[in-house]
């Protein structure tokens, strides 16, 4: 709805207001007239009509009209210089990922506007405070407005320089859906499906791009075990506890093909490497038969391509499995100075697990309590609370 309405307004803030008005009108109208068959179409039509009315009432109508990027959809699709992609969400994500914006702002705006994440959820994805993220999003929206950044998929010449930010945004959409930052459910299926749709759409736009193939493979392979991540009571199951016979083998096979394609590029990109790690997990017959040394080696390469503290944390987990919890703790100690990880609950929970395995119960208890305080997802909180109970007993 938002993406379609921005096409009319040329202004993000005005479009957001029109979308909100459409929902408010539905709350008043639907109880009286009944819920329409195509609710999305009804809401989008109301929002766009509201946008047109708003523009007509503005005294600066001519200036507003000049912001129109595509007054008619056919005009864009018939332009030989632009890819033929009739999807407003993709146009919106490329607008958010314009090079005039900082990389952090590009991804934050994509998550906020494209996926409807709250500012708090976006802040958690970036490991920053909510006020910091709110200011970043506001500055980004103003930059789009004042710079008149066009609402369109870039030309074929510009496309390669814009893809990395779009991939980062889609990846964060997926990770936020894969393990919801808060709420009663472990997975937000709507965000997972949104990320998968966008990755496939980008794949159709750039069929020869290795990193696009890598991202799509990563999402497919990771999501293939969605149904086994919790038990019938909704409790969290670790990777070692999951029933691999229930993993989506058809999806895993499709993801493996994409991984091989992505790895043909030299040097391999970060998404190709992450997809390769996901493939090792997905194709292993069991937890014990997983090639953990190869996973550590891939993380070593990934850290060179993408020196991220979260990647370093994931590598430490793998090191703790290969060389034991003492080695895992040593790898974690190198991350103690990373400000981005201070409020990251997975750092505390990983440390707690290593300490538990070493029998250092009091230290493990403190680490689990820290992780519990930093966690807002109820499924993860229940798991951490159960670990604490085990230590106490």
Q: Residue ranges per domain, the chain?
A: 2-68, 78-207, 210-290
- What is the torsion angle, in degrees rounded to the nearest 10, for the CA atoms of residue 50, residue 56, residue 58 and residue 61? 130
Low-confidence ranges of the chain (pLDDT < 70): 58-87
Residue 174 pLDDT: 93
The helix/strand count (H/E) of the chain reads as 20, 2
**What per-residue confidence (pLDDT) applies to 341?**
85
Q: What's the chain's length in residues? A: 393
CB 379 within 8 A of CB 186: yes
- CB-side exposure of 273: number of CA atoms within 13 Å? 21
Q: How far is it, in rounded angstroms, from Cα 45 to Cα 43?
A: 5
SS3 of 178-220: the string is HCCCEECCCCCHHHHHHHHHHHHHHHHHCCCCHHHHHHHHHHH
Residue 321: the pLDDT is 96
The DSSP output letter for 113 is I
> What pLDDT score was predicted for residue 205?
81
Q: What is the pLDDT of residue 67?
A: 53
**Which 3 state secondary structure label does DSSP give 25?**
helix
- Res 77: pLDDT: 28
d(CA 304, CA 255) in angstroms, rounded, equals 24
Q: Find residue 236's DSSP bridge partners.
A: 230
Please return the burial class of 318, using the count of CB atoms within 10 Å of its CB with bins 0-12, 13-18 and 19+.
buried
């Amino acid at each position: 709805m938002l993406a379609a309405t921005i096409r009319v307004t040329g202004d993000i803030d005005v479009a957001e207001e029109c979308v909100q008005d459409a929902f408010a009108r539905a709350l008043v109208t639907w109880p009286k007239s009944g819920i329409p068959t195509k609710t999305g179409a009804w809401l989008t039509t109301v929002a766009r009509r509201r946008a047109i009315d708003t523009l007509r009432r503005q005294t600066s109508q001519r200036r507003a009209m000049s912001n129109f990027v595509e007054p008619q959809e056919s005009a864009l699709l018939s332009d030989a210089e632009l890819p033929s992609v009739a999807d407003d969400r993709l146009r919106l994500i490329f607008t958010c990922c314009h090079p005039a914006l900082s990389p952090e702002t590009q991804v934050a705006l994509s998550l906020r506007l494209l996926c409807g994440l709250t500012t708090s959820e976006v802040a958690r994805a970036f490991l920053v405070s909510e006020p910091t993220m709110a200011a970043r999003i506001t500055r980004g929206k103003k930059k789009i407005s004042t710079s008149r950044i066009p609402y369109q998929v870039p030309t074929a010449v510009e496309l390669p320089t814009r893809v990395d930010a779009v991939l980062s945004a889609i990846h964060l959409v997926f990770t936020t859906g894969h393990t919801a930052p808060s709420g009663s459910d472990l997975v937000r299926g709507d965000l997972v499906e949104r990320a998968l749709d966008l990755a496939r759409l980008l794949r159709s736009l750039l069929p020869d791009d290795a990193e696009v193939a890598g991202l799509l493979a990563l999402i497919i392979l990771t999501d293939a075990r969605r149904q086994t991540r919790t038990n019938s009571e909704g409790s969290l199951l670790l990777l070692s506890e999951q029933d691999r016979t229930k993993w989506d083998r058809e999806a895993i096979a499709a993801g493996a093909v994409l991984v091989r394609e992505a790895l043909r590029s030299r040097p391999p990109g970060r998404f190709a490497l992450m997809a390769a790690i996901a493939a090792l997990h997905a194709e292993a017959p069991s937890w014990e038969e997983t090639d953990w040394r190869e996973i550590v080696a891939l993380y070593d390469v990934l850290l060179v391509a993408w020196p991220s503290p979260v990647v370093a944390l994931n590598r430490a987990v793998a090191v703790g499995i290969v060389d034991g919890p003492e080695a895992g703790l040593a790898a974690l100690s190198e991350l103690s100075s990373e400000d981005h990880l201070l409020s990251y609950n997975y750092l505390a929970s990983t440390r707690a697990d290593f300490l538990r395995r070493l029998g250092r119960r009091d230290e493990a208890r403190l680490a689990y309590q820290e992780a519990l305080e930093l966690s807002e997802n109820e499924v993860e909180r229940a798991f951490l609370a159960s670990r604490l109970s085990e230590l106490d007993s």
